[in-house]
Amino acid sequence: MKILLSILLITFLSLHSLFSQNNDNQHPILKDKLTGSIGVYVPSKKVSFGVDGSSPNDNIDFSNSFNLNNNEVTPFFNFAWRFSEKWKLGVEYFGIKNANKLELEEDIVFDNITFKKGSNIRGGYGINMYRVFVGRSFSRGLKHEFGAGLGIHALNTNAFIEGDVLSTEGDVSFERRAVSALIPLPNIGIWYYYAPTKKLALVARLDWFGVTIGEYSGGLWNVAPGIKYQLFKNVGIGVDYRYFLLRANVNKTDWKGEFNMTFQGPVFAINVNF
């Protein structure tokens, strides 16, 4: 009996030591409760808005029409809380604000106003994207994790055109037209992490939805592959590539139309973990 107990005790201690050693050799993204990234997003952008039921051909490409900066640097952050062995909560944010003033080279129709060629106007848009996600791990190992869950993208967007408008009679008057919306976009998502060493991790995430919710209908794709390298115990660096596509129709009393947005580019970040 004593021999059996000794064998069981030795086996337990050996397994515990092996597990502890392997856990220490895991990348933090696979084991730590709190992980996050703070950095900058450098996307190329294509953004167009249509108002009052305009056809897609009548949508205004703000990036081209107003010669907006096509590679704006914007703050970016995300954090994840692993609140149980298999469940995690994530939050994410990035925002873009861009505007420019110029003399129109061709007529623009926006919200029933024609800003005629030669008018001195200012136009631009603003976007704030918030993401909240709750997911469950379905497969976990010493070097990998696969999971899926549900989330919501909250898109706060606006667009405006203002300036001196030339009439057909040559008169000049100041006009401003603007639209805005706070749009909830529920989505399903999956993620996969592969960490061959405790320093290096390859990550990938995909979000998708295509639904109609009240005054809004459309679709979203959010694709995010990346690589993370752990420099110190609680600090690392990372580079992701973010592709974000959103197409939506709006049927509100103050905005009947649609918009199309595409952002794609790298995210350079400092990673933290605890």
- 3.20.20.140, 3.40.50.1000, 2.40.128.90, 3.30.450.70: CATH of 28-273: 2.40.128.90
* pLDDT band at residue 16 using 50, 70 and 90 as cut-offs: very low
pTM, full prediction: 0.81
| Span of 20-29, 184-193, 220-229, 241-250 with lowest mean pLDDT | 20-29
- The two tokens of residue 40 are 């900058």
Question: What is the rounded distance in angstroms from the CA atom of residue 50 to the CA atom of residue 111?
Answer: 8
In this structure, are residues 72 and 94 in contact, taking their beta carbons and an 8 Å threshold? Answer: no
Reduced to 3 states, what is the DSSP secondary structure of residue 152? strand
Q: Summarize pLDDT for 87-124 with one digit per residue, the tens.
A: 999 999 999 888 999 888 888 888 778 888 888 889 99
What residues does each domain of the chain span?
28-273
The pLDDT, as a whole number, for residue 105 is: 84
Question: What is the rounded distance in angstroms from the CA atom of residue 130 to the CA atom of residue 169?
Answer: 46
In this structure, are residues 257 and 50 in contact, taking their beta carbons and an 8 Å threshold? Answer: yes
